[in-house]
């Protein structure tokens, strides 16, 4: 975290908070004094976070529902009166070769990784613009920059979010509203639990990132002074091939 910055009494909305990077981020922000509104699919884990952490409220359900982003914003405003940070970690991964890919799963991934991300983006940016401050962060992927075989669909969803955020950052460059994308390489989370050969094996990565590694990077991005924006940050394991 940047020296001299305080998260005390800040309010953050975090999606994908019932596992992986989102859960790690929720815990790190709570430890810094941030008040939280969380979203995830696993209600039992969100309830556990509510017990474990101070100042937590949550909503569970399908992030692709058209009113999900508005519901999160309204929840935060009802409980805390404002929002400082909106961080989207919700995402799923479906990969496969041309002859093996499941088109229905691929399209569901697009709805989660792109459509829901776009709804989240515009909902919170409109609010931040009216408020004249705020910071939107998307957890994307190094595959938003570099693709690999059999993962074009997933990479495409990350390219889509990176492109949107870059265009919006240019649009808002003269405003106090910030947009950032944090793009990790391979992270040891549940995202790869259904893949037959884990990417750490297929890509020969001895030590993938932990969710806490990426969460720390996001906290650092959020803690920058008002005049400093970090639009893109790539975080990789030391031996991650690009």
Q: Which CATH architecture has domain 11-235?
A: 3-Layer(aba) Sandwich (3.40)
The DSSP secondary-structure symbol of 29 reads: H
- Give the angle subtended at the CA of 15 by the CAs of 52 and 54, to the nearest 5°: 25
Closest CA to 102 of 50, 150, 135: 150
Q: For helices 116-131 and 152-171, give the axis angle rounded to 10 degrees.
A: 10
**Sign of torsion over alpha carbons 64, 69, 72, 74:** negative
The DSSP H or E segment spanning 80 is helix 68-80
Per-residue pLDDT of the chain (242 residues; tens, 9 = 90+): 566 789 999 999 999 999 999 999 999 999 999 999 999 999 999 999 999 999 999 999 999 999 999 999 999 999 999 999 999 999 999 988 999 999 999 999 999 999 999 999 999 999 999 999 999 999 999 999 988 888 999 999 999 999 999 999 999 999 999 999 999 999 987 765 555 445 655 566 778 899 999 999 999 999 999 999 999 999 999 887 76
* Cα separation, 188 vs 228, whole angstroms: 30
* Cα separation, 178 vs 129, whole angstroms: 10
Active site residue ranges: 154
Closest CA to 40 of 49, 51, 31, 27: 49
């Amino acid at each position: 975290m940047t020296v001299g910055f305080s998260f005390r009494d800040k309010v953050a909305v975090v999606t994908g908070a019932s596992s992986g990077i989102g859960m790690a981020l929720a815990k790190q922000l709570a430890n810094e004094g941030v008040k939280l509104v969380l979203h995830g699919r696993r209600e039992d884990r969100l309830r556990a976070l509510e017990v474990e952490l101070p100042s937590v409220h949550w909503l569970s359900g399908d992030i692709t529902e058209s009113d999900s982003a508005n519901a999160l914003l309204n929840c935060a405003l009802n409980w805390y009166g404002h929002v400082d940070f909106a961080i989207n970690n919700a995402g799923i991964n479906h990969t496969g070769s041309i002859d093996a890919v499941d088109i229905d799963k691929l399209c569901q991934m697009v709805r989660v990784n792109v459509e829901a991300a776009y709804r989240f983006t515009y909902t919170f940016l409109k609010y931040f613009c009216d408020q004249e401050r705020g910071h939107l962060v998307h957890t994307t992927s190094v595959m938003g920059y570099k693709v690999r075989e059999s993962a074009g669909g997933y990479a495409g969803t990350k390219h889509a979010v990176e492109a949107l955020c870059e265009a919006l950052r240019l649009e808002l460059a003269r405003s106090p509203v910030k947009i950032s994308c944090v793009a990790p390489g391979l992270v040891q989370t549940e995202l790869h639990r259904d893949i037959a050969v884990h990417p750490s094996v297929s890509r020969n990565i001895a030590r993938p990132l932990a969710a806490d590694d990426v969460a720390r990077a996001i906290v650092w991005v959020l803690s920058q002074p008002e005049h400093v924006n970090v639009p893109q940050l790539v975080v990789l394991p030391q031996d991650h091939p690009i």
